[in-house]
Amino acid sequence: MNRKHKKMLVRIIIAAVLTVALNFIPTDGYVRLAAYLVPYFVIGYDILKKAVKGIWRRQVFDENFLMAVATVGAIAIAFTRSGDYNEAIGVMLFYQIGELFQSYAVGKSRRNISELMDIRPDYANVERDGGLVRVDPDEVEIGTVIVVAPGEKIAIDGIVCEGRSSLNTSALTGESLPRDVDVGDAVISGCVNLTGVLRIKTTKEFGESTVSRILDLVENASSRKSRSENFISRFAKFYTPAVCFGALALAILPPLVRMLFMSLAPEWGEWVYRALTFLVISCPCALVISIPLSFFAGIGGASNAGILIKGSNYLETLAKADTVVFDKTGTLTSGSFEVTELCPVDMERERFLEYAALAESASSHPISKSLTKAFGGTVDRSAVADIQETAGEGVTATVRGEAVAVGNAKLMKRMGIDCREADATGTTVHMAVSGRYAGYAVIADTVKPTSRSAVSGLKRIGISKTVMLTGDGERVARTVGKELGVDEIHSRLLPADKVERVESLLAERNGRGSLVFVGDGINDAPVLSRADIGIAMGAMGSDAAIEAADVVLMDDDPLKLVKAIRIARKCIRIVYQNTVFAIGIKLVCLALGALGLAGMWLAIFADVGVMIIAVLNAVRALFVKRL
């Protein structure tokens, strides 16, 4: 509890004690009025002050004005009728208790969200004059080597130039398992170094680093308001003046009707009391506070799970998702080639991989890298000579005195060597040694471990159609799509073809639900922009992903998509619950107040009680069950 909350709590206690004590002191008339005004001003002076300021600035109609008019009017009625000021003071007292609780709840939820996103580093260690100097991350230039000790946050994006360690990336990705890094690996700011000392050469300025851009996105998310929030803002703008004039009419018209048309006593005091009760009930606090808080909590809960949602409008659209379109490479598959099948002929497996890796050692092609990776050992470049690469065919070289050819069927045919055709999905790489066929390896882009669970999870939560778009050939696309259980598969697509396909899916949908496109955020930028919601995968190090998408998954786990939709739907459910609950209770209590069946005590429940319940319900959006 901060100083402001403690001060308000003291005021509440003093006002409550004074009010109770005055009930045991026999006073009357102006003395009694003056005595009760002391606790009234102790608890309500700030509300009266704000109401006067609002009138002075011509911004009259707000909850402070409503509460000031209602309680001052109740005191005036009590003075002329019963002398019982407890009700007026009690209304102000419970209103302030509600405000204290609301302020504490909202502040706590905001602090929780801030703590979840507490990834901004306070300093960077730079070597100067043989020692380490702590400097502001903003002062570090591109190309500077920074030193990160165990337990410290990486201040700026860069590449490890010395050291090995494990990184805690949970604040960025929501992933609890540490990530191992070695020399040459790219690392991003905001991660916590767990074990070894790292020397990192920075590749960006602090303002352009991942942590700065993430914090900027979260902080500015509130500027992109949902339709629900805009509706509540417009509603409150017209609602408050309307109820003020309604209360005025309730105070004046019924007494005049009684006096002029029914020849009865007007009973001004009774109807003014009803009008004041009407004003207390009408305060729109529950709606005005709880709806934005629900979206804010939803965005905060998502960020804790490693999901960045750029605004509550995107949260609202995501909740309506019924069609999900995936890019294949880098989204459902890892985007990196691996040896998935190996069939050597009259040669040991290890020797086959060694000869293939040596022959391909001078090439930077992804297939060459995958063969080197499969070999796993140290490539002795002195054991290979006469390397020649033929575009579109492969490589020939001399390895330990033997002629080796590694490539596709065209290369084998040109060299007059019969080769086998692999009955597997992927790229087949054949090898011949000393003019004899030595076997083949199949290299393919592997499916991510959670992709199948993601597709089935989407169907479980009610997504009606899943689609996969890829530039790969039909055979590869069909194999991957069938393995994952995707409903529709479209292959051999250029970026423009993907946009065209998404537009046709949007046309088929006829405005029902929303269409989500999930891609890597780099070559899929046009499609990300065209879909109702663009979601970028694998934002670790991808600037284009953060820029192009409406939602960013801070790791490359497609299963996070299911959680993102669940968070969005839970948040929208809470918004609807609060809206229906608040308006429903208000309408019932307004009717009771107008009919004289509800006094000030019920009125304060309709205002403060409903607000407290709505705020507590809103904070639930912070928490989502694990998948």
Q: What tens digit of pLDDT does each residue of 331-358 get? A: 888 777 788 888 998 889 999 999 999 9
Mean pLDDT of 494-508: 85
When comparing pLDDT for 127 and 109, which is higher?
Answer: 127
Three-state SS for 144?
A: coil
**CA torsion sign, 58 to 64 to 67 to 72?**
negative
**pLDDT score of 123 more than 50:** yes
Q: End-to-end alpha-carbon separation of the chain, Å?
A: 34
Mean pLDDT of 378-396: 85
When comparing pLDDT for 141 and 391, which is higher?
Answer: 141
- CB-CB neighbours of 423 under 10 Å: 8
| Residue found by looking up tokens 């509130």 in the block | 222
β 514-519/488-490 pair status? unpaired
Mean pLDDT of 434-443: 90
pLDDT (tens digit, 9 = 90+) per residue, 81-108?
667 788 778 878 877 887 787 677 666 6
CA dist list (Å): 49 to 56, 67, 77, 281? 11, 12, 22, 21
Query: Using 50, 70 and 90 to split pLDDT, how confident is the model at 516?
Result: very high
Left if phi > 0, otherwise alpha if psi is -120 to 50, otherwise beta: which for 541?
Answer: left
pLDDT at 117: 52
Give the residues across from 402 on adjacent strands: 399
The class that CATH gives domain 124-155+157-203 is mainly beta
Percent of the chain at pLDDT > 90 equals 21
Nearest of 426, 392, 384, 386 to residue 408 by alpha carbon: 392
pLDDT at 303: 78
Known catalytic residues are 327
**pLDDT score of 410 more than 90:** no
Query: Using 50, 70 and 90 to split pLDDT, how confident is the model at 231?
Result: low
Sequence-ordered alpha helix ranges (H) in 86-223 = 86-116, 170-173, 210-220
pLDDT (tens digit, 9 = 90+) per residue, 298-329?
887 887 787 888 888 888 889 999 999 998 87
β 533-536/514-519 pair status? parallel
Percent of the chain at pLDDT > 70 equals 86
Q: Which residues neighbour 115 within 8 Å (Cβ) at sequence distance 6 or greater? A: none
Nearest of 627, 120, 570, 509 to residue 319 by alpha carbon: 570
When comparing pLDDT for 251 and 80, which is higher?
Answer: 251
Highest averaged pLDDT of the listed ranges 58-62, 237-241, 425-429? 425-429
pLDDT (tens digit, 9 = 90+) per residue, 16-75?
999 899 988 888 888 888 999 999 999 989 989 988 888 888 776 677 777 788 788 778
pLDDT (tens digit, 9 = 90+) per residue, 171-201?
666 555 677 888 988 888 888 898 889 999 9
Could you tell me the residue ranges of all domains in the chain?
124-155+157-203, 335-447
Nearest of 187, 190, 157, 186 to residue 172 by alpha carbon: 190
Query: Using 50, 70 and 90 to split pLDDT, how confident is the model at 541?
Result: very low
Q: What does the buried/exposed string (b/e) look like for 171-203 if buried means 16 or more CB atoms within 10 Å of the residue's CB?
A: bbbbbeebbebeeeeebbbbbbbeeeebbbebb
Nearest of 450, 430, 470, 435 to residue 341 by alpha carbon: 430
Query: How far apart are alpha carbons 289 and 299 in whole angstroms?
Result: 16
Query: Using 50, 70 and 90 to split pLDDT, how confident is the model at 496?
Result: confident
Give the H or E element holding residue 72.
helix 63-80
Query: How far apart are alpha carbons 537 and 518 in whole angstroms?
Result: 7
| Residue found by looking up tokens 């070695």 in the block | 182
When comparing pLDDT for 424 and 187, which is higher?
Answer: 187
Q: Which residues neighbour 171 within 8 Å (Cβ) at sequence distance 6 or greater? A: 116, 117, 118, 119, 190, 191, 192
Query: How far apart are alpha carbons 592 and 615 in whole angstroms?
Result: 24
**pLDDT score of 127 more than 80:** yes
Give the residues across from 441 on adjacent strands: 342, 429
**pLDDT score of 542 more than 80:** no
Mean pLDDT of 218-235: 60
DSSP 509-550: HTTSSEEEEEE-SSTTHHHHHHSSEEEE---TT-HHHHHH-S
pLDDT (tens digit, 9 = 90+) per residue, 443-467?
887 888 899 999 999 999 999 999 9
To the nearest 5 percent, what fractions of the chain are helix, strand and coil? 55, 20, 25
Write down the mean pLDDT value for the chain: 82
pLDDT at 264: 78
Residue 157 tokens read as 């994006």
Query: How far apart are alpha carbons 13 and 19 in whole angstroms?
Result: 10
pTM: 0.69
Count of residues for the chain? 627
Domain 335-447 sits in CATH 3.40.50.1820: no
Nearest of 587, 571, 558 to residue 622 by alpha carbon: 571
User: 86-116 vs 610-619: helix axis angle to the nearest 10?
Assistant: 10
**pLDDT score of 623 more than 90:** no
pLDDT at 466: 95
pLDDT at 142: 92
> Where does residue 227 rank: exposed (0-12), middle (13-18), buried (19+ CB within 10 A)?
exposed
Left if phi > 0, otherwise alpha if psi is -120 to 50, otherwise beta: which for 510?
Answer: left
pLDDT at 569: 93
pLDDT at 159: 93
DSSP 423: -
Query: Using 50, 70 and 90 to split pLDDT, how confident is the model at 285?
Result: low
- CB-CB neighbours of 443 under 10 Å: 23
